[in-house]
Amino acid sequence: MEFKDKTILIVSPQAWGKLFVSKHYYATELAQLNNNVYFLNPPNFNLKTEIEINDITSNLHIIDFNPFFPYKLRFHARTVYDFLMIFQVKRIQKKIAKKIDILWCFDFNLFTDLKIFGADISIYHPVDPVILSVQIIPAKSADVIFSVSEKILSNFDKIKKPKSIINHGINDTFKSLALDRQNRPTYKSDTKIRVGYIGNLTRPIINEPIIQTIISEHPQIEFHFWGPFSSDDNNLGGLQKTSAFIEFLKSQKNTFLRGVKVKEELISEISEIDIFLLVYSEDKGSSDRSNSHKLTEYLATGRVTVANRFSHFSDTRDLIIMPETDNDELIPTLFQKVISNLEHYNSPELQRKRIAYALDNTYEKQIERIEKIISENINKKQIG
């Protein structure tokens, strides 16, 4: 099946905004392929009308909706909630006024039965930890199941549907950076070492003690953080932190909070970063530490990354420097080892290896892989 000239509805647990993760990038990439893409935001209880559709481009549209029924039924009367959601979907479809060819659902909480959309193809694509049995049920009504790690996909072992791992991707901006550096992956360490982090600093899964230890132990190193550190410009949720960690970062003379940047500006600013850092704690609902979209973006730069153990990368030691176990106490020692020999860890050979991995995981290539899997595994009579 080729994803062109189709009407595609993407169901996302994260709203459209300045910050993009995989759902947003798939939407923009699919729109560029001449599909008519509708991006369904999570329920917006402040919306004055029931359903609104706003155009980002001529073929990329954002849908906001405020459920016509009490949303708390989802938690207290799921059967009633599911029944009423059938009518909510019909109202959304009437507003779209087009038949949905492909339903692409990243949200594992909103809908129990994906067939209520009447799409030719239903894709279930959870990229976050699946922890509840109700989050497994939507896969039963899907035509195909994708996820970003074996750990997440294993939750669906008993469901006899085609399933596959599709890694996180890189957008066109990171692709351009990777192609540029692939041709000239030189590196010469400066007297000033610069460490970078890109992401939502309000997320509760950030391992604050480890990051604080690394910063405190290396006052001669600059640490640069890109991403929201307050509720401003944060469309991804997760604002659950106390201000203590952010205040710590602000108080350090060698730490710089750069805020949210447009992609082109971000790429320009990270060009001088020597090391990238990503340290998450394991959290049942937010992070199983199996994969992260940031890692593929970091790899696109060619520069070395120090991180906690991510199981998806456990067999690729040269790509990301991480402990062999889940013992995060080893991370500061690994960080010291890397900064002591940066020219090795950022050698042309290792940079090319990281960049090649990233370029093999552009969203364009991920969509091609998904097209191939669907074509090979789903009855072609289903496809309109």
Q: Is the pLDDT of residue 240 over 70?
A: no
pLDDT given for residue 231 in this prediction: 64
Where does the pLDDT of residue 383 fall: very low under 50, low under 70, confident under 90, or very high at 90 and above?
A: very low
CA 281 – CA 200 distance, rounded (Å)? 14
Tell me the whole-structure pTM to 2 decimals: 0.92
Mean predicted lDDT score pLDDT of the chain: 93
Residue 1 has pLDDT above 90, yes or no: no
- Helices 208-217, 331-339: crossing angle, 10 deg rounding: 40
Q: Under a CB-based contact definition with an 8 Å cutoff, are residues 144 and 378 in contact? A: yes
DSSP element (H, E) containing 293: helix 293-301
Residue-level pLDDT at 200 = 87
Does residue 241 surpass a pLDDT of 80? no
Name the CA radius of gyration of the chain, rounded.
Answer: 21
Pick 206 or 316 by higher pLDDT.
Answer: 206
**Each residue's pLDDT tens digit, 94-142:** 999 999 999 999 999 999 999 999 999 999 999 999 999 999 999 999 9
Residue 60: what pLDDT?
98
Between 277 and 203, the more confident residue is 277
The pLDDT tens digits for 155-187 are 999 999 999 999 999 999 999 999 999 988 777
Q: Please state, for a pLDDT cut of 90, what percent of the chain lies above it.
A: 84
Q: What is the pLDDT of residue 242?
A: 54
Tell me the backbone φ, ψ of residue 14, rounded to 5 degrees.
Answer: -115, 135
- Cβ atoms of 301 and 294 within 8 Å: the answer is no
Nearest Cα neighbor of 237 from 30, 25, 41 is: 41
Instruction: Decide if pLDDT at 384 tops 50.
Output: no
Quick check: 234 pLDDT over 80? Answer: no
